[in-house]
Amino acid sequence: MGVLSGLVSHIGALRAKTAILPAECAVVAAPILGASIREVIGSHELRDLKPSTQAERERLGYGANDPLLRSGDYLRSIHEAAEGSCAAAGSDNPEAAYFEHGTAKMAPFHDMAIGLALAMPAVMTATEATIREVLEG
């Protein structure tokens, strides 16, 4: 009976630890998602601007091929949050949807989607470490 009660006690302790895992993982993942999006925004490796756009940007005193970085507002608008078991990152800039999805006159940049996709290996590594820490701690 002692072995059985010890097993029940151990299972109860594991249940308590695993209950907090989703929230702990979300807290770890959210900043990774935001950082990855910020790293991708304006990356000219993704797409060169049209020559006429580059010329206009230089005329106005901005870099020729650093899209979405003109004022820095868009970059500063990227925020991340963790709530419950959900980690999220995105922008509260009203123009973010146009940058991400494009318009009739502007091709989409997809910076957020690319940033989130590129973040997945780091998120997986960080959440795996969190799971190990919680279960072993």
Q: What is the pLDDT of residue 119?
A: 97
Q: Residue 44: count other Cβ atoms within 10 Å of its Cβ.
A: 14
Express each pLDDT in 94-124 by its tens digit: 989 998 999 998 888 889 999 999 999 999 9
**Per-residue pLDDT for 84 more than 60?**
yes
Express each pLDDT in 63-76 by its tens digit: 877 767 777 888 89
Report how far residue 37's alpha carbon sits from residue 43's, in angstroms, rounded to the nearest whole number. Answer: 10
pTM to 2 decimal places? 0.79
> pLDDT tier at 45 (50, 70, 90 boundaries)?
low
- Rg (C-alpha) for the chain, rounded Å, is 22
Q: What is the mean pLDDT of residues 26-32?
A: 97
- Residue 137 to residues 13, 14, 129, Cα–Cα distance (Å): 11, 11, 12
Q: What is the pLDDT of residue 58?
A: 86
